[in-house]
Chain A
Amino acid sequence: MNSAYILSLLQGLWATVVLSLLTFLFGGIAGFIVALARISRNWAISRGAAAYIEIMQGLPLLVLMGLCFYGPSILGYDSLSPLTAATFALTLYSSAYLGEIWRGCIQAVAKPQWEAAECLGLTRWQRMRAVILPQALRIAIPPTVGFLVQIVKNTSIASLVVGYAELSYNAKIINNATFEPFLYFGIAALMYFAICYPLSVQSRALERKLNVANR
């Protein structure tokens, strides 16, 4: 085992974390918009959001990466950097899943609370902001933390079409030189595990807490 290789894996890990955070940031913003669009009373908007979710959930992430990587240059923009293209693709992908998760959370609290808030004479947006969203946020946290795990794992796809040098990319490069797949992919897997497992555990613990509180 060579320390330069370990360093390279750690650099890859850092790149994975950066891409994950960017994805969560932009994917979260876009996902929130998708969720609101999905529950919009405007038929066209809500159907449009539903179609968007349907399409994003019916495409392999790899294909989405390709579209985001090659698409902009065709439209006349400069070709995107691997990080930008990967963030773009993962944002689209995550926004659909997060949007669907959050729509579920909003609707779970909305139904019983909506009428009560309506009686108070609040506008739709006021009701949403003052009554629905704070409660939805509470039940949205466990599945959102759970989805973070998906994001982190999905960043590995960015090593393929767009060639973003994150953890699995660096591990593959090292393996090409050393032919020790069990060792280096094993270490890479453990690094992913070290990020994802605590998030999974946290997500489950939060969910349990929520279930107890709601009982």
Chain B
Amino acid sequence: MTYNFDFAAVLAYWPLLLEGIWTTLRLTLFCTVFGILLGGACAVVRTGGPTWARWIVSLYVEFIRNTPLLVQCYFLIFGIASMGIRLPILVGATIALTVNIGAYTTEIVRAGIESIHRGQLEAATCLGLSRTQTYLHVIIRPALERVYPALSSQYVLLMLASSIVSSVGVEELFGISNRIQSETYRNFEIFVVLGGIYLGLAILVRGGFALLGLAMFPRRRKLGTPL
């Protein structure tokens, strides 16, 4: 039995694919920004907050990290809808993915914060820096620089995992290809094309993070050594 591959039929839908790519990238961008804010804040609370707040953050982190993203999406998006709140599906998906990536970010940033030597804090204190100034300039910045590689990998994984929100009806790259599937029946070809696109996107996102890293961390740009 021979099979005639027909990639042309799939590639003919390139405007649709582009639309999907655009949505995936937007989704990734929003979740990256919100995820780092959420995770950074939680990491600060986790390392320096009052005991009860640390507990809440731990609970959040453990719960998210030990349940599948798919179930979290179902729980949040269908759950919010069941309360009668109507959210645009892209907003719901952004919330679900942010809640998810925020927990992983918390753990990574926390490890970075804990790696900052106590002497650094003493030096900042003795120079008269306030608690907030110390956190911002002497703890968070070098902590982020130190865990940046781990953070970038995690966010590449987020981009790939964002395909899961297609299951709740988001027409990002994976979701939109369902439409092509139902019109062409070229199932295998579609997955091959999707695979190629996602591989390209992974390289793109990784490259984006590398460039951003160079812009944010001048020491890294100049010396190229890990902090």
> Hey, which bits of chain A sit against chain B, CB under 8 A?
55, 57-64, 66-67, 70-71, 74-76, 149, 152-157, 159-160, 168, 171-172, 175, 179-182, 185-186, 188-189, 192-193, 196-197, 200
Per-position binary interface string of chain B over residues 185-197, scored 1 when its CB falls under 8 Å from any chain A CB and 0 otherwise: 0011011101100
Sort chain B's interface into a size bin: 35 or more
- Cα(A172)–Cα(B191), bound, Å: 24
B1 touches A (CB below 8 Å): yes
- In angstroms, Cα B187 to Cα A152, docked, is 27
User: Is A193's CB under 8 angstroms from B198's CB?
Assistant: no
Given A57-B202, A171-B74, A197-B66, 12 more A-B residue pairs with CB atoms under 8 Å apart are A64-B195, A66-B188, A67-B191, A70-B188, A149-B66, A168-B70, A172-B74, A181-B74, A181-B75, A185-B74, A189-B72, A192-B66
Q: Which residues, 193 to 220 on B, are CB-close (under 8 Å) to A?
A: 194-195, 198-199, 202-203
Task: Look across to chain B and name the residue whose beta carbon is closest to the beta carbon of A190.
Answer: B67
**Which of B164, B191, B195 sits near A157, CB closer than 8 Å?**
B164
Instruction: Choose from B69, B82, B195 the contact partner of A63 (Cβ within 8 Å).
Output: B195
Q: How far is the CB of A86 from chain B (nearest CB, A)?
A: 13
Pick from A61, A63, A180, A192: contact of B191, CB under 8 Å: A63
Query: CB distance B68 to A192 under 8 Å?
Result: yes
CB distance A185 to B161 under 8 Å?
Answer: no
How many angstroms from the CA of A46 to the CA of B187 in the assembled complex?
32
Q: By the criterion CB–CB under 8 Å, are B75 and A186 in contact?
A: yes
Task: Contact check, B66 vs A58: say whether CB atoms are below 8 A apart.
Answer: no
Out of A59, A175, A179, A193, which one reaches B63, CB within 8 Å?
Answer: A193
A208 to B90 Cα, complex, angstroms: 41
7 smallest CB-CB distances across A and B, nearest first, come from: A181-B78, A66-B191, A196-B66, A156-B68, A58-B202, A185-B75, A60-B163
Contact between chains at A153 and B67 (CB < 8 Å): yes
Known A70-B187, A153-B67, A200-B65: A58·B160 in contact at CB below 8 Å? yes
Kindly supply a per-residue 1/0 record for chain B positions 109-145, scoring 1 wherever the CB is within 8 Å of any chain A CB and 0 otherwise. 0000000000000000000000000000000000000
Judge whether B3 is part of the interface by a CB distance below 8 angstroms.
yes
Is B67's CB under 8 angstroms from A182's CB? Answer: no
CB within 8 Å of A: which B74-88 residues = 74-75, 78-79, 81-82
Q: How far is the CB of A182 from chain B (nearest CB, A)?
A: 5
Contact of A154 with B66 in the complex, beta carbons under 8 Å: no
Interface contact A185-B78, CB-CB below 8 Å: yes
| Residue B62 CB within 8 A of the other chain | yes
* Chain A residue contacts of B70, Cβ below 8 A: 156-157, 159-160, 168
A156 touches B71 (CB 8 A): yes
A162→B187 CA distance, assembly (Å): 12
Say whether B160 contacts A168, CB under 8 Å: no
Q: How far, in Å, is B111 (CB) from chain A's closest CB?
A: 12
A60 to B174, CA, bound (A): 9
* Complex CA distance for A201 and B167, rounded to whole angstroms: 30
Q: Would you call B163 and A168 a contact (CB within 8 A)?
A: no
Task: For the complex, give the distance between the alpha carbons of A179 and B70 in Å.
Answer: 17
Least distance between A152 CB and chain B CB atoms (Å): 8
A148 to chain B, nearest CB (A): 11
Contact across chains for A59 and B195 when beta carbons are under 8 A apart? yes
Q: How near does chain B come to A155, taking the closest CB pair, in angstroms?
A: 8
B71 and A189 contacting across the interface, CB-CB below 8 Å: yes
Q: B195 contacts A67, CB within 8 Å?
A: yes
**Contact A60-B192, Cβ < 8 Å, known A181-B82, A182-B75, A185-B74:** no
Q: Are A197 and B62 in contact (CB under 8 A)?
A: yes
Bound together, the chains give a CA A180 to CA B196 distance in angstroms of: 38
The complex places the Cα of A193 from the Cα of B68 at a distance, in Å, of: 9
Give bound CA distance, A188 to B75, whole Å. Answer: 10
Chain B residues contacting A67 (CB-CB under 8 Å) are 188, 191-192, 195
- A61–B187 alpha-carbon span in the complex (Å): 16
- Checking B75, B174, B198 against A189 with a beta-carbon cut-off of 8 angstroms, the contacting residue is B75
Q: Nearest Cβ in chain B — how far from A140, in angstroms? A: 20
